[in-house]
Structure 1
Amino acid sequence: MIDNPEEARYQRAQKKVKDLKDFFSHVRAYVIINLLIIFLRSGFVDVIRGRIDDQDFLDWLDWNVLLTPALWGIGLLAHGLYVYRDRFTFFRSWEERKIKEFMEKDEQEFRNNRWE
């Protein structure tokens, strides 16, 4: 445990910067790889279409051009939501309101049951 609050704040800020850097590296890889996949698909298959008679392979390639960005995009979205979770104050305030609501409800039930 860190005794110095300034050091603790510094370490939290350092972790946030690392998380941001990792997220932007993830975005960069996503964009580069998916552009490469789309580029290769658009030109590559047209060039080799005459050489490849295996329709199953071509179908598999077509699906991967669609599925790779879609599935990876879901992972990227999850990563982004994790990194930017502090910006979603609505959820935090909603949690606090719900906690207070349940505590008040329990308190009310306790008061009502106490006199029975």
Structure 2
Amino acid sequence: MERKDKKMERAKERLKELKGFYWHLAAYIGVNSFITISTIIGRMNNGSDFVDVLDFGTFAVWFFWGIGLFFHGLKVFSYNPIFSKEWEERQIQKYIEKDKREAQKFK
């Protein structure tokens, strides 16, 4: 019974992380859309041409916040190309073998 409880807790934690990512994504789209539209309208009201409005400053928040959102997504969807599950298994095996060799020294 205890094992089911642990599985349920892990599932609930996973769901919480997933919901957190989707809220982050919704905030990203909503806030950045508002900022971008406000910036474009404000600049055009000041006499700028539409082409002049489309510079990096207009989309900088999208870019930098997008980097954070990207890494949040990698974490939530368990994608880690550097420290993969295979890498973890190799490291665990290496430490187990090292412990065995150390134990053999004292026999």
Structure 2: stretches of 5+ with no match in the other structure: 49-54
Matched, 1:100 2:93: yes
Q: 1:1-116, aligned counterparts within 5 Å?
A: 4-49=2-47, 64-85=57-78, 87-88=79-80, 91-101=84-94, 106=98
Q: Distance in 1 between matches of 2:85 and 2:12?
A: 22
Q: Distance in 2 between matches of 1:4 and 1:97?
A: 29
Superposition deviation, residue 92 in structure 1: 1.0
Percentage of matched positions with identical amino acids = 30
Q: What TM-score results when the alignment is normalised by the length of structure 2?
A: 0.68
Higher relative contact order, chain-length normalized (CA < 8 Å, sep 6+): 1
Superposition deviation, residue 100 in structure 1: 3.1
| Runs of 4+ that moved beyond 4 A | 87-90, 101-104
Which has the higher Rg, Structure 1 or Structure 2? 1
Post-superposition Cα deviations, 1:65-90, rounded to whole Å, max 9, x if no partner, equal: 232112111111121122111x5587
Q: Distance in 2 between matches of 1:102 and 1:9?
A: 27
Q: Distance in 2 between matches of 1:102 and 1:8?
A: 27
